[in-house]
Every structure is written in C-alpha cells, then in structure tokens.
A and B are shown apart, each in its own frame.
Chain A
Amino acid sequence: MKDKPSKYVPELLRGSTDTLLLFLIQERHAYGYQLIKEIGRRSHGYFQFKEGTVYPALHRLENEGLLEGEWQELPNGQVRRYYRITEKGKYALRGKMATWRDFTSAVNLVFRPVEA
C-alpha cells in the first residue's frame, strides 16, 4: 500500500521558519512574496507559509539585526522591499543549521531499526 503524503505539524515548522528565511535570503536578496513562493516551490508545495507569518518574521529578524531591508525600484516603476542578510545573520544561520543537522541526525539515529 502506498503511503499517504504526510502533513507537517505547524509546531515543527515554527522553530525553523527563521532558518529557512535566512538561508534563502543568504542565497540572494529577496522580498516577502518571493520568499513565500520560493519555499513552496523548493518543498514541492509541502511548506505553505502564511503571509501573515512570514512578514512579521522578516521584521523580527530585521529588528534583531540579522537582516536588512531596503526599498528598490523595479524597471516597471514598482517598488519592493528586498531583504539581505547581515554578518550577524550569517553567523546566526550557521549556528541554526548546525543545530538542525545535529537534531535530524539524532532523530534518524533513534528511528533506525535496532539490529538483532
């Protein structure tokens, strides 16, 4: 029997929102709507971030000095607020990713069947 696609538990994601946002912004400057779409695309629709969660998270990260926001004008005349990661943000991201790797490794070790 084929497994049903699992649904993630929001509580699991809550602690990882910052890491995902910082990671994507480290790759390239991005604005809020673009980040929501990018996370959905990369996770094949698994993560569906609520806009009302992402924008406050971006502002919190900016307030903590991990991101910097800047308004930029596009060739079509529209303006958007792009975020870029700061040095402090890069340092925090390295720590968060290390923690995440250790956590998933430990979970995988526990999930491994016990050899008889």
Chain B
Amino acid sequence: MLPEIRSYLDEVRSHLHLDPATEMQIVREVYTYFRDSVDELQANGLSESEATKAAIESFGRPRVVARRMYEARSKGSEIEAAISCLPHLIIAGLFISQLWRNPFWASIAFVSIVCVTLYGWWRGKPSWLYPWVGYSLLPLLIGGYAAAPVLGQAASSLFWGSGSFPSVWALLLVLALIGSSLWIIVSTTIRVVRRDWILASLMLVPLPIVGAWLLDLEQAGGVFQGATASVHQLDMSMALAFITLGVASATFVRLRQRVLKVGALLMVCTIAAAAIGHSFWGDYGFFGLLATSLLMLVFLLSPALIEAKIGHGEQSGEAWWESSMRWEEALVGHDRPV
C-alpha cells in the first residue's frame, strides 16, 4: 500500500470513534475504492503518484469523511436507545421501591446488569453497552466504600495510636480488594477511552453520583441505618437523577451528530449533578451549585484528556494494519454483525 493512502486511511480511522469491527470495514472499503480509482487513473495515462494524489483529493478531507461516516453509523435504533436507558431505570426502580436495602433484590439487579454487560462486550461493544458497563463497576465502588473503614482503623492505630490495629489478613484482603477494584475501573476506562472518550463519560457518569450519595449517607449515620424520612427523600432524588441519566443515554444513542451527543450528555448530566447536590446539601447557594456543576463537567471531560494522551484504537497503527490485512480473508462471505 502506498504511504500516502496508508496515511490518509490512518487519519480517517483516528477520527471515526466507532466500534473496531465497523472501523475496519470502513477503512477496508475506502482502501478498495483507492485501489480501483488508482488503477483506472493509471490506465488513463497518469503516473502512480499522480493517480494516488487525484484519488485522495477526489475522496475529500479525511476528517470530513470520518465525520460523515460517524454520523452514518453512530445513530442507534429506538430499541438500542431503550436498552441503553434500561440500567438507569433499573437502578431508579431500586431507589423508588427502596429495594436497594434488600440484599437479594439488589444482588439480582447487579448480577443482571453484569450479565448484560458481559454479553454486550462479547457481541462487539455496541453503543448501548456503556451505561451497563458503568453500573457494572458500581459494586466495585461500593465494595471499596465498605472496605474503607478497615483502612481508616489501621491508619488511626498507626498514626494516632487510637484503637486496635486490624488483623494483617483483613488488611491485606482489603488492600487487594481496593487495588483490584481500582485496576478494573481504570483499565476498563482506558479501553473505552481508546474507542471514544464520550462513551467513557457516558459510562462513568453514575459513579460520582453514587459516590456523593454514599458520602451523604455516611454523614447521616451510614448506609445500613434505619429508613428515615430524610433517607426516603434522598431515595427519590436519586431515582429522579437516574431517570434523567436514562433520558440522556437514550438521547445520546439516537443522536447522529457528535457535537450534539457531547452537548446533550454534558448538559443533562451536569444539571442532574447540580440537582443531586442541591438535594443532598440543601440550599448551598449559587456558588455551591456552580462548583458542583463545574466538578461534574471536569469529571465528564477528563476522558477527553486521557484520549489526547493515549490516542485512539485498541491497537497501534502497525499492529492494526497487520490484523486488518489478515482479516481480509475472514471478511469474504461472512460480514461481521455491527
């Protein structure tokens, strides 16, 4: 393959932000166009370099082509939008019915969410998957929260000499739990960011909301305290926040243009965070509201910074092209489902 074509296709791929199978289909298809076009132009008397230059110019700027391809492929069906909304509604349902206190129903909900996540991951990571992944990570956050008192006890005993030091095995277990949870959350985030930072933001958005909820409950006496009126009020606020996130997810899947997806996600989730903050901490003034919104905005935009650092695609350029070439044989006769 000529370096000019390879460089063009690399740039198209780096701006596609679609699932790997679709990206490969698109790049291969554009490559077949170049092959046909260059052959024809050469047959008409142009040199190879002239023909390549003309074919590339005729196709248009790679960023524009990538944007058009993204818009052609990124809009999900109504069913996909409903599936992406579903985990938010399941969690909202747990809060409305207060079944999150019931270990059986809470476990059933999370096991179902993890099963759907694994299925979607195995089926090529469709765009409806990412809210499900986010909720699958929640038990890790909650596990870390539950294990944190052991660390606090150890630190208190070590630095201030108050209380007894927990057993070494308990401490090691807690450190392993927190370490592995962090590793899973970070590595999953990086993998998702490599595809598209917006999907990582969509995935991570429940985590700060649940984190703030855990902190607020801690101040009110802990997660497993009795159900008081204020806790009921919090449950309703949390349910409303998750329903709002569900609407944001469904809208995200249905929108075609990337800029609208980013706008909808940032706006709705920031409003949801501000509303949750207001519900948790009462009337905390304009600046409190502004600070909560800004924090959420920074959190949602942080995957974009990670993407700028680590780049796009699960494989480097060279490795991707090697696997792409091998894949050509597999493409014939069995189109991959997208």
Contacts and interface: CB of A to CB of B under 8 A. Distances in A.
A71 B72 contact: no
Contact of B69 (A56, A68, A69): A56
Grouping DSSP codes into helix (H, G, I), strand (E, B) and loop, the B interface class, with mixed when no group exceeds half, is helix
Given A55-B33, A59-B73, A63-B75, A73 B65 contact: no
B22 to A, nearest CB: 9
Given A63-B75, A73-B332, A79-B328, A51 B33 contact: yes
Interface residues of B, number: 27
Nearest to A58: B72
A81 B64 CA distance: 22
A99 interface: no
Contacts of A57: 72
Given A33-B36, A71-B332, A81 B65 contact: no
B69 to A, nearest CB: 5
A57 B332 CA distance: 22
B48 interface: no
Interface in A20-70: 31-33, 50-53, 55-57, 59-60, 63, 68-70
Given A50-B58, A79-B331, A79-B332, A55 B73 contact: no
Contacts of B37: 33, 51
Contacts of A52: 59-61, 64-65, 68
A92 to B, nearest CB: 15
B72 A63 contact: yes
A81 B30 CA distance: 10
Contacts of B28: 71, 79, 81
A41 to B, nearest CB: 13
A10 B72 CA distance: 19
Given A33-B32, A33-B33, A50-B58, 16 more contacts: A50-B60, A51-B33, A52-B59, A52-B60, A52-B61, A52-B68, A55-B26, A55-B65, A56-B65, A56-B71, A59-B26, A59-B72, A60-B72, A70-B333, A78-B35, A80-B32
